[in-house]
Amino acid sequence: MNDEDTTLSLAGLFAMLGLLAVGGGNGIFPEMHRQTVELHHWLTATQFTDLFAIARASPGPNILIVTLIGWHVGGLLGAFVATVALCGPSGVLAYGVARVWHRFRETRWRRAVQVGLAPVTVGLIFASSYVLTRAADHSVAAYAITGITTLIALTTKLNPLWIFLAVGIAGAAGLV
Amino acid sequence: MSAPTDLAATAAPPGPTHAQLFVSFTKIALSGFGGTIAWAHRELVHQRRWMNEEEFTEMLSLSQFVPGPNIANIAIYVGGRFCGWTGALVAEIGLMTGPFVILCALGALYEKFGALPTVSGALSGISSAALGLLLAMGISMLKPFRKRPLDIAFILAAFLAVSLLGASLITTILILSPITSAIAWFRRP
């Protein structure tokens, strides 16, 4: 596959994922992983979770892992195409819905769709954490970090950046 | 006094210009560690006073209804409300430019140094923690479903379909959400 084809399939894939990013978008990672790692072999499973970590620890929506994947696949152009593809179609949809929102926000079907999407969204978030945890080459220490971070996040209001700093140092020291 | 321009001048505080939209959403994007929505609320409701609490809540509901990151949908809503589609575009670009530049720089660094043992070690630590945050998000989102076994069943179905059965995202959403929406439709009084 030549570069142009790769950029095009990158655009097509991320445009679709942007439109499927229900409930904020944390449920699209399994599909993104399947397509970019298993089907297209644009990056390895470890590179995917590395980029996931970078996107999560940087400002901006987590979903901007697509910018990093785009950069990895096709440099600056790849990053740009990936970002625009993800945000463009879903952005146009959001604009269209916002314009007519007042007309249907009180309707029964709108509430039904929103209430109905909620359990699907939650299930997809669990699938995301499961698939990505299994995909990474996880050591016992890594599982422990995942478990402890889960507990800390559920029981405290600690800024996650402190956790990232601590486990980043531990990882750099070869402890993970 | 009856000219429309006078009416506009005496109406509620003037809305933002394109430049103000750009600056505000750049700020929101770059201060958004651990919760862009909280920053957006602070900036839009308290500091700029472009909208009140009620409108912010309504906008949040809309942003969760349509696909895409909630904060991106908020940018499009606010930009569009005050300056039409060009405003929506400018707000979205304001939101994305800062993170885009930072991520490109980090992406370039990763290509160069990602294979170093210290860097890959640090990243595997951070990704393990990031996955913990994602899991915690899922667990805390379970709360409203505690007494709704049918919803729990669909949460489980969506999870299993994607994680173990290898169903594609589009199939999972297109099959499950019409069923769950239909159930929600009939459950409402």
- Nearest CB among A93, A146, A161 relative to B66 is that of A93
d(CA B165, CA B175): 14
Based on DSSP, count helices (H) and strands (E) in chain B, helices before strands.
Answer: 8, 0
Of A20, A61, A150, the CB nearest to B72: A61
For residue B3, pLDDT beyond 70: no
DSSP one-letter string for chain A:
--HHHHHHHHHHHHHHHHHT-GGGSTT-HHHHHIIIIIIS-SS-HHHHHHHHHHHHHSSS-GGGHHHHHHHHHHHHHHHHHHHHHHHHHHHHHHHHHHHHHHHHTTSHHHHHHHHHHHHHHHHHHHHHHHHHHHHS---HHHHHHHHHHHHHHHH----HHHHHHHHHHHHHTT--
A16, A122, A134, A150, best to mutate vs chain B, most B CBs in 10 Å:
A122
ipTM of the complex model: 0.93
pLDDT of residue B6 exceeding 60: no
Residues of chain A with pLDDT > 70, as a percent, come to 98
- Confidence band (pLDDT; 50, 70, 90) for B9? very low
Across the interface, whether the CB atoms of B104 and A79 are under 8 A apart is answered: yes
Whether the CB-CB separation of A77 and B88 falls below 8 Å is answered with no
The answer on pLDDT for B1 being more than 50 is no
One-letter amino acid at B21 equals L
**Using the beta-carbon criterion (under 8 Å), do B138 and A129 form an inter-chain contact?**
yes
Q: Mean pLDDT over all residues of chain B?
A: 90
Of A110-114, B3-7, B158-162, the poorest mean pLDDT is in B3-7
d(CA B55, CA A87) in angstroms, rounded, equals: 24
Q: Is the pLDDT of residue B11 over 70?
A: no
- Is B130 close to A52, i.e. CB distance below 8 A? yes
Residues of A with CB below 8 A from B118's CB? 172-174
**Residue of A95, A125, A142 lying closest to B80 (CB–CB):** A95
Q: How many residues can be counted in chain A?
A: 176
pLDDT at residue number A60: 86
* pLDDT beyond 90 at B8: no
**Confidence class for position B32, pLDDT limits 50, 70, 90:** low
Using a CB–CB cutoff of 8 Å, tell me whether A51 touches chain B: yes
How far apart, in whole angstroms, are the C-alpha atoms of residue B153 and residue B61?
A: 25
pLDDT of B148 above 80? yes
Measure CA of the first residue to CA of the last residue in chain B; give whole Å.
Answer: 50
Whole-structure pTM value: 0.91
pLDDT single digits (tens) B166-189: 999 999 999 999 999 999 999 855
pLDDT band at B35 (very low <50, low <70, confident <90, very high): low
Q: Cβ contact (<8 Å) for B184 and A142?
A: no
Determine contact: A12 vs chain B, CB below 8 A. Answer: no
Mean pLDDT within A74-88: 96
Say what the pLDDT of residue A104 is: 87
Q: Is pLDDT of B36 > 90? A: no
Mean pLDDT over residues B72-95, rounded?
96
For residues A65 and A43, give the distance between their C-alpha atoms in angstroms, rounded to a whole number: 13
- Tell me the chain A residues in contact with residue B154 when contact means C-beta distances shorter than 8 Å: 119-120, 123
Q: Is the pLDDT of residue A38 over 90?
A: yes
Mutate to test the interface with A, among B27, B30, B128 (most CBs of A within 10 A): B128
**Can you give the pLDDT at residue A162?**
94
pLDDT at A56 over 70: yes
Q: For A136-163, what is the mean pLDDT?
A: 92
> For residues A83 and B26, what is the distance between their CA atoms, to the nearest angstrom?
16
- Best residue in A87, A108, A158 to probe B by mutation, most B CBs within 10 Å? A87
Interface of B with A in 12-71 (CB under 8 A): 29-34, 36, 58, 61-71
